[in-house]
Chains A and B, each alone.
Chain A
Amino acid sequence: MFSFVLALRNMKRGWIVCLVSVISFVTLALLLSVFTGFVNRTRSELDSYYKELTVTASFSGAKAGSQPRVRPKLFDAVVSNSFVKDHYAAMEKEIATAQRIRGVNSAKADPVLEEYLLDCKWQAGMDETVFSGSDTVCIVPSACEMSIGDKIAVFGNAFRVVGVYNSGMTGNWTYYCPLETLVGICEKNGDSYSYYSLGLTLGDLENLDVFKSQMKELGVDEGEATLVINDTLFRECTRNLKLQLRLQRGVLYLVYILTFSVAFVLSFLVFRNRRHDVAVLRSAGCPSSFAFMSLMEEACIYALTGCGIGGLISLAVPFFSLNLRQLLLLFFFCCFGAGAAIYRVVSGSILQEMHEFE
């Protein structure tokens, strides 16, 4: 307790040193805070790009002009990948000559269908979301002269007509049904099938290169389909920010070194000048551990106050940013510098110190 009283007296009566120390530590905390703020701001800007920008990918034919053929095994591996947030796909089966059925899980999977849907008559309460389900329903071209509610037999299954679109073509009929329904029928019948369209919406864009390497491992470019990732715009947008972030992080490390070194040296210098006080205390029978404690308490109060005020300012000013770990590190280096100086002062010869001050 007396050591603490001594420390408080020293602070109160050596208030200039106290004030200078605290202001210095506040300044160091703020310096750290400003540079961390720069990094965090750039980081959050980049994160918002990662969140807001979307990157799509799609499979195209291995040869120019050809349709891709994505086998079910590859399809499953691709769509179950953690980077794939959403996908659309389409497959096709021949029913008879000039009659085929296409399974889609979204109108986007088939550009022709998108056009057809602009002029499609739907059963009441039905719309294109029907494709994302698994009902045995389909839409048919008006040329086949069927009406809503009619049924068509496809591979032994009765598909109910829920929409009629105007294709403008006669004699070549394409029915559209939910993808899941058609895949289920093919699997049940043991028919082979492949997807002629597969598009992906990708997430976790920060690690897009990982996705690419994973796709390479799956051999997406070796078969009858090639994966095209539309990330040019995304790369353009993030390149400069990434570079800026790398630069700022480099500077932040330098600021760490500078701040912690200054904290160490400053504390060391403040407490190095206490040799005489310590010698007097020890000549009066004060144990060296007591003298060490008293000065360390003083040093800790300076560091705690400085880092605390710096931390509070950082919280209050929006642009500043300082986390607890950085504050603790700064506090540690302030105390470490003081501790090193105090240890040197306390472990010196009393006789020598007393004579030096004569």
Chain B
Amino acid sequence: MSIISLDSVRYSYKSKYQTVNAVNGISYEFEKGLVYAIVGSSGSGKSTLLSLMAALDFPAEGDVNVDGTSTRSMDCDEYRRDKVAVIYQNFNLLAKLTVLENVELPLELRKTHKTDAAATAKKMLRNVGLDEEYERRFPAMLSGGEQQRVAIARALASGADIILADEPTGNLDEENTEKVADILVSLAHDQKKCVIIVTHDMNVAAKADEVLKMQDGRLV
């Protein structure tokens, strides 16, 4: 059974000069335990589609359904807190929080006890290969690859079933790209998460179980 399904999803936004139909009637079903790669040229609507799945906005037409419930009719804060985790190309870590505090954030928002939150966060940091010495550092003191691993640890700590990764390796070198891609694949295969990766990188896409190509807001 699909965990997330797209039903004729359309989304457009107004740029400075024109209205852009970013997503143009996409229907698709995503399942747990699989890695999906969405590829396509810049401006094809990949990131917008991912944002709609993260309930950062709603489709103009159609529905994004999670476990059979439309994102329109659900508590989006709760959904973003409990069911979905997003990994961004620019990491989106909070600069004034330490690495450990960034990873603890989703747990703290869920009112997890501080001690449990810290234990879980440390465990997730170890899972992505960051040892204790990183915990007290601030994001600005880390390399791009390390920051992305913190972002992944944050996504893992949330315990979400859906991991959405928007160009997660866009700012990384080859070695770190390989590491991050492997972590994401293992999340789907070992922990039965639904991992959806938007990427330009064909090496990352090659690791996915299914590759979806987008062009002009449509799956082709």
B21: Cβ under 8 A from any A Cβ: no
Of B81, B82, B108, the contact of A2 (CB 8 Å cutoff): B108
Q: With the chains together, A273 CA to B79 CA distance in Å?
A: 27
Number of interface residues of A (CB under 8 A): 25
Q: A349-B57, A350-B57 are in contact. Are A280 and B77 (CB under 8 A)?
A: no
Q: How far is the CB of B162 from chain A (nearest CB, A)?
A: 12
The distance from the CB of B66 to the nearest CB of chain A, in whole angstroms, is 13
Q: Which B residues are CB-close (under 8 A) to A281?
A: 94, 105, 109
Contact A13 B96 (CB under 8 A): yes
* Chain B residue with the shortest CB-CB distance to A10: B96
Whether the Cβ atoms of A351 and B82 lie closer than 8 Å is no
B49-92 vs A, CB cutoff 8 Å, 1 = contact: the mask equals 00100101100000000000000000001111110001011101
Q: Which residues of B contact A209 (CB under 8 A)?
A: none
Q: How far is the CA of A2 from the CA of B97 in the complex (A)?
A: 13
- When C-beta atoms are compared, the residue in chain B nearest to A355 turns out to be B47
CA distance A234 to B138 in the complex (A): 71
- Contact call A284/B96, Cβ cutoff below 8 A: no
| Inter-subunit contact A284/B106 (CB<8 Å) | yes
Residues in B neighbouring A14, C-beta threshold 8 A: 96
| A286 and B77 contact, Cβ closer than 8 Å, known pairs A9-B101, A10-B96 | yes
Query: Across the two chains, which residue of chain A brings its CB closest to B158?
Result: A284
Q: How many A-B residue pairs have CB under 8 A?
A: 68
| Chain A proximity of B139: nearest CB distance (Å) | 11
B90 touches A285 (CB 8 A): no
B contact residues, range: 20 to 34
Check if A354 is an interface residue, CB within 8 A of chain B.
yes
Q: Distance (Å) between the CB of B88 and the closest chain A CB?
A: 7
The B28-48 residues at the A interface (CB cut-off 8 A) are 47-48
Please classify the interface of chain A as helix (H, G, I), strand (E, B), loop, or mixed, using the class held by over half of its residues.
Answer: helix
* A2-B108, A14-B96 known; A357 vs B77 contact (CB < 8 Å): no
Taking each of B57, B81, B92, B97, which has the highest tally of chain A beta carbons within 10 Å of its own beta carbon?
A: B92
Contact pattern, A 1-25, Cβ under 8 Å of B = 1, otherwise 0: 0100000011001100000000000
Contact A285-B79, Cβ < 8 Å, known A2-B109, A358-B89: yes
Which of chain B's residues have a CB closer than 8 A to the CB of A282?
77, 80
A186 to B48, CA, bound (A): 106
* Smallest Cβ-Cβ distance to A287: which chain B residue: B77
- Report A279-296 CB contacts with B as 1/0, cut-off 8 Å: 111111111101000000
Residues of B close to A45: CB separation below 8 A: none
B161 → A minimal CB distance (Å)? 14
Chain A residues at the B interface, C-beta cutoff of 8 Å: 2, 9-10, 13-14, 276-277, 279-288, 290, 349-351, 354-355, 357-358
A and B contact pairs by CB, cutoff 8 A, 21 listed: A9-B96, A13-B138, A276-B92, A277-B95, A280-B92, A280-B94, A283-B54, A283-B86, A284-B81, A284-B105, A284-B109, A285-B78, A285-B82, A285-B106, A286-B81, A350-B57, A351-B48, A354-B88, A354-B92, A358-B88, A358-B89
The 10 closest A-B pairs by CB, nearest first: A285-B81, A285-B80, A13-B96, A351-B56, A351-B57, A287-B77, A350-B56, A280-B92, A351-B51, A285-B77
